[in-house]
A and B are shown apart, each in its own frame.
Chain A
Amino acid sequence: MGRLSPLGRVGLWLANLAALAFLVLPLLPVVLGAVQSEKSLQADVRALLPRQTTLANFRLVLSGGATRGPIFEQVSYLPKSIERFPAAFLNSMVVAASVALLTLALAALSAYTVARLDIRWVRAVVSLSLVARLLPLIVLMVPLYVLFRRYGLLNSLSGVVLAEVGFLLPYAILILVPYFASLPGELEDAARIDGCTRFAAFWRIVLPLAAPGLAACATIVFILSWHELLIPLIVVSRPEAMTLPVVLAGLVSDYFVFFTLMMAICLLGLAPTLLLVLLLQKYVVRGLVAGALKG
């Protein structure tokens, strides 16, 4: 493309500013809400910036309600979500990491057969995954609740992990197939000529070469698991097994809402996946594109 006229340059700058405003401006209220006290938020309902800032909300949430400090000393009611936050954060980490690893392992095996073994029935795996990916989650959750109830999987993290692995597996296969298919076949052929079995060629040659694809897939699955509300909401009702989205959802029906505390919890809840998205952007971007367009 040629050089921009000065006017075109200004226009493009403004367009970028508008795009940036769309992308990040809605997060500003979260930050502004989280760094002030409820009293300061309510003092002037027309003020945009807080009168004074404090980290008391974060201290309270991170300590599970133990570190009250001067702001919360007099408060008689605190949302249950505050007390449950630390354990739920840990549960979410355990669940998301387990789901990412398990899904990746199962999906890699299947995706390899689709991309590398020329077998008619295996191709149907992709079509089935495409259809399964668009299955409404709620259709799954109504019967899973009944089944999990019968087999004692309610209120357990393993139940949550199992349901999430099943739900995310088709998508993970869709992300990995194009990666495996794009690897040069010659290396695998050479290994086979040197006496490698097909599985050894997969294990020693294809998997290491597909590392960026595996990283993309694991990151995306981790993020989606961290975000998942409906599955743990239905599987878990005991506080000890709640994941972060369930604890966050508990804030909705609270009879008294502290918006400042809510925003502090939100900020802590969105931080892990926002960081992952920004740090591993290259992988996430390629994985999302591969999973949507390349089948």
Chain B
Amino acid sequence: MATLEPRPTARSREPSAGALAVLLNLPAGVVLVLVLAWPVLYAGWLSLHEVSLRQLRSGELPFAGLANYARLFGDDVFWLSLRHTVVFVAVAVALEVVIGLAIALVIDDERVALSRLTRVLLLVPWGVPPVVNGLLWSFVFNAQYGYLNRALLAVGAIREPVNWLGDPTLAMGAVVTAYVWRTTPFNILLYHAGLRGIPRDCYEAAAVDGASGWARFWHISLPLLRPVIAVTLILRTTFAFMVFDEIFAITQGGPGNATWVAGWYTYRAAFQPPFNIGLGSASAWVMALILGAAALVYARLVGRRLEA
């Protein structure tokens, strides 16, 4: 006798959407807890203990209370590094935004054939590994054999070679230049995408009304790009705050302390003699708290789009 019951299919045995979501998020969740969440909390724990190589060897980490933080806030070099970081971030981010906008506007105008080549080569600096970028600019800025001095001597802008990396201000300028060169393409790309999203009719209507190119940029492009600019400001500020590779490869914090920044301070504290990992953790946590604020703003900005 034939039954009317449907054959058990894969469908009838499938987990609910909720169960599936748990299952599919499990692998990423495990990795994120093990490699991100736990270490970050553990850094907080380490910052409250006395940790250097000796303690790591013995396995006993004595509780130190807020001693690491007291030492951190009492260290002039830490404050100096923070001040340098603020200067570095301000100058680098401003340049990234201005140069990024300028080049994005240039490539948005497709009326000359050359703009196609510019668009193709747009991401070249982004493709260069940061440490290679550092080495390449350390060669460019080298006082004896560098190409910047060669070029300036050739056009007669200077009479004698300049020791770019030997002067505190010039060295900071050199590091900013290298960093900005590598990171600006990311901004160009986002601004370019933003400009693409502006309907051409807007510009045409403005042109009919007799608006100049500058007026069109100021009254149409810039206001419509504001959300994209906000995102790049937060991303670039955060990433510039963590600058490490270029400092490592070009100046190693020198000359003197002139290019010590927060990331370099933390690295030096934890991983160079005397390997004070407790102090490094405290410094790292202070950085994380400063950047946490920026991250929350970013999450709100981009998150709002997702809801919409």
Is B260 among interface residues, defined by CB-CB distance under 8 A?
no
Among B20, B102, B129, B280, which residue has its beta carbon within 8 angstroms of that of A269? B129
Q: Which of A51-59, A61-69, A210-218, A243-251 contacts B (4 or more CB under 8 A)?
A: A243-251
Residues of B with C-beta under 8 A to A18:
106
A-side interface residues, number (CB < 8 Å)? 112
Q: Is the CB of A147 within 8 A of B39?
A: yes
Is B193 among interface residues, defined by CB-CB distance under 8 A?
yes
Nearest chain A CB to B187's CB is how many angstroms away? Answer: 10
Is B135 among interface residues, defined by CB-CB distance under 8 A?
yes
Q: Is the CB of B112 within 8 A of A16?
A: yes
Bitwise interface map of A from 3 to 23 toward B, beta carbon under 8 Å scored 1, else 0: 110000100110111111011
Is A190 among interface residues, defined by CB-CB distance under 8 A?
no
Distance of A192 Cα from B9 Cα, bound (Å): 12
The 9 closest A-B pairs by CB, nearest first: A166-B35, A277-B127, A134-B295, A29-B147, A143-B39, A295-B302, A130-B299, A274-B127, A197-B14
Classify the secondary structure of A's interface with B: helix
Q: Is the CB of A126 within 8 A of B154?
A: no
Nearest chain A CB to B151's CB is how many angstroms away? Answer: 7
Q: Is the CB of B288 within 8 A of A136?
A: yes
Q: Is the CB of A47 within 8 A of B193?
A: no
Q: Is the CB of A195 within 8 A of B9?
A: yes
Q: Which residue of A lies closest to B147 (CB)?
A: A29
Q: Which of B73-81, B168-176, B238-246 contacts A (4 or more CB under 8 A)?
A: B238-246
Is A204 among interface residues, defined by CB-CB distance under 8 A?
no
Q: Is the CB of A113 within 8 A of B21?
A: yes
Distance of A24 Cα from B298 Cα, bound (Å): 31
Residues of A with C-beta under 8 A to B306:
123, 126, 294-295
Distance of A16 Cα from B117 Cα, bound (Å): 9
Q: Is the CB of B99 within 8 A of A22?
A: yes
B-side interface residues, number (CB < 8 Å)? 116
Is A139 among interface residues, defined by CB-CB distance under 8 A?
yes
Q: Is the CB of A26 within 8 A of B125?
A: yes
Distance of A12 Cα from B39 Cα, bound (Å): 51
Residues of A with C-beta under 8 A to B129:
226-227, 229, 244-245, 248, 269-270, 273
Q: Is the CB of B284 within 8 A of A1?
A: no
Given contacts A16-B112, A48-B154, A146-B277, contact A229 B130 (CB under 8 A): yes
Residues of B with C-beta under 8 A to A269:
129, 132
Q: Which residue of B lies closest to A181 (CB)?
A: B306
Given contacts A26-B181, A45-B144, A131-B295, contact A119 B18 (CB under 8 A): yes
